[in-house]
Amino acid sequence: MVSYEGLLVRLREKGITKTDLTKELGISSRTIAKIAKGEKIGAVTLRKMAEYLGCDPSLLCREIAANAVLQILRDEKSAKISGGLYHELQVRMTYNSNHMEGSRLTEAETRLIFETNTVDVGDGIPVDDILETVHHFRAIDYVIDMAETELTGEFIKHLHYILEHDTADSRLPWFAVGEYKKRANMIGGRETVRPKDVPGKMQELLDAYNAKTNVTVNDVIAFHADFESIHPFQDGNGRVGRLVALKECLRHGIIPFIIEDSKKLFYYRGLSEWGREKGWLTDTCLDGQDTFIRLLDTLEIPHS
């Protein structure tokens, strides 16, 4: 949907009616009706209006996401609003996701980095913990910006690049930053998909998922479990997978889930037992959805 709030404001300021626009610029009543309904109008027409009103076309309209939560995140991100949903999502998801993977930064230290862009941490904190925290902030930004696009392998690879570039691992000749793994790996003692088979398996997974209509939270959880079982990257699979789940929830109007570090044992058990028992991971992710709902309630943001 498109908001023409900027256009309407400028018309009021200049005392111009929509009828005046049709006469002065030769715009059809059908185009005026589109503006009223929040539908897109042609770039040429928009440019003519901007020239008539003496402003840039970008000031007349903006895209509005169908998902109200996504729109709030985008608005707060753009306006750099402190203490809102965007702020708390960045801090809470980054802390929990990184801490689950071994980061030694506390939530308070993570918050400090996000809020002040400074570091005041105790002795012995690895540089990579700090880098990966900042990278995770940027990855969430990328997810918010690209939320409504179709999920692709290239998007997932770029998430991995954002998270892992400039880290110690990225300097290893065999560590493929932003690319699928080159060496076989295991998770929890279990074999994962071999490197040569990863591209094909990932494409199969993406094709099957993108063919779905009316995607539900259960579909997102299932994709996440299958993604983690493939384990397409040398490292960083958990963080990438949880960011993908965030994107897909925002894309399909689903309340996202934040897996808290305190629930990581339930989460890992759910992933390892997915092929036999789907309820454990599902329950953990739904608990994470409740965590997000409580955040929305605290900030008095409506949700359904």
State yes or no: pLDDT of 122 exceeds 70.
Answer: no
Output the pLDDT for position 205.
98
Report the distance separating Cα 116 and Cα 97, nearest Å. 20
The answer to whether 149 and 133 have CB atoms below 8 angstroms apart is no
Residue 124, marked binder:
no
State yes or no: pLDDT of 124 exceeds 80.
Answer: no
State yes or no: pLDDT of 2 exceeds 90.
Answer: no
Report the distance separating Cα 240 and Cα 237, nearest Å. 5
Report the distance separating Cα 304 and Cα 298, nearest Å. 15
164: which 2 tokens?
Answer: 């892992």
Residue with structure tokens 């002065």?
24
Q: What is the pTM of this model?
A: 0.86
pLDDT digits (tens, 9 = 90+) for 148-199: 999 999 999 999 999 999 999 999 999 999 999 999 998 888 899 999 999 9
Between residues 121 and 218, which one has the greater pLDDT?
A: 218
Residue 180, marked binder:
no
pLDDT digits (tens, 9 = 90+) for 194-246: 999 999 999 999 999 999 999 999 999 999 999 999 999 999 999 999 999 99
* Closest to 90 measured CA to CA, from 263, 146, 81: 81
Report the distance separating Cα 20 and Cα 22, nearest Å. 5
Residue 238, marked binder:
yes
Band of the pLDDT at 85, cuts 50, 70, 90? Answer: very high
| Mean pLDDT estimate for the chain | 93
**Contacting residues for 18 by C-beta, under 8 A, at least 6 apart:** 11, 32, 35
Residue 267, marked binder:
yes
Annotated catalytic residues are 231
Residue 242, marked binder:
yes
Between residues 68 and 38, which one has the greater pLDDT?
A: 68
Output the pLDDT for position 121.
66
Name which of 24-38, 70-84, 172-186, 280-294 the model is least confident about: 24-38
Band of the pLDDT at 60, cuts 50, 70, 90? Answer: confident
Report all structural domains of the chain as residue ranges with CATH numbers, in order of start.
2-63 (1.10.260), 68-299 (1.10.3290.10)
Is residue 291 classed as helix, strand or coil in its secondary structure? helix
**Contacting residues for 222 by C-beta, under 8 A, at least 6 apart:** 278
- With a pLDDT cut of 70, the percent of the chain lying above it is 98
